Amino acid sequence: MFISEAFAQTAAPAAGAAGGLMSMLPLVLMFVVLYFVMIRPQMKRQKETKAMLDALAKGDEVVTQGGVIGKVTKLGDTFVSVEVANGVELQLQRVAIVQVLPKGSYK
C-alpha cells in the first residue's frame, strides 16, 4: 500500500559496452602515437648503432663519446684500442664509439 512497485530500468547491454570502448579510444590512440613518435625511432637508432659497432674493423677512423678522434688498431669483444697520435693508444669500450668517419678524415 505505502510502497509502490519498483520496476527495473531496462537498458540495452550493447550501449554500455560501446560506451566503455569509446572511453578507451583516447588511451589507445595515445599509445599508437607514442609508439610511432618515440618508441619506433629509438629502436631503429639502437639497431643502426649495433650494426655500426659490429661492423667495426681495424683501420677504421672513429669518434668517441668524449669527442676523441682516432684510428682503430685492435679489436676485442668489448674493448677497442684507438690510436689518437703516433704511439699513443687509448683502450675504450666498444659502446664509447659513436661514429665511424669516412676514410681519410683523420691523418
In this predicted model, what pLDDT tens digit does every residue of 68-96 receive, in sequence order?
A: 999 999 999 999 999 999 999 999 999 99
3-state class (DSSP) for residue 38: helix
Enclosing domain of residue 74: 57-101
Tell me if 68 is assigned to some domain. Answer: yes
Q: Per residue in 28-77, pLDDT tens?
A: 999 999 999 999 999 999 999 999 999 999 999 999 999 999 999 999 99
Task: Tell me the whole-structure pTM to 2 decimals.
Answer: 0.67
What's the grid cell of residue 103?
Answer: 676514410
- Widest pairwise Cα distance in the chain: 107
What's the grid cell of residue 9?
Answer: 530500468
Residues 68 and 2: their CA atoms lie apart, in Å, by 91
Are 61 and 50 within one domain?
Answer: no
Please count the structural domains in the chain: 2
Are 50 and 16 within one domain?
Answer: yes
Helix%, strand%, coil% for the chain, nearest 5: 40, 25, 30
Residues 19 and 101: their CA atoms lie apart, in Å, by 57
3-state class (DSSP) for residue 18: helix
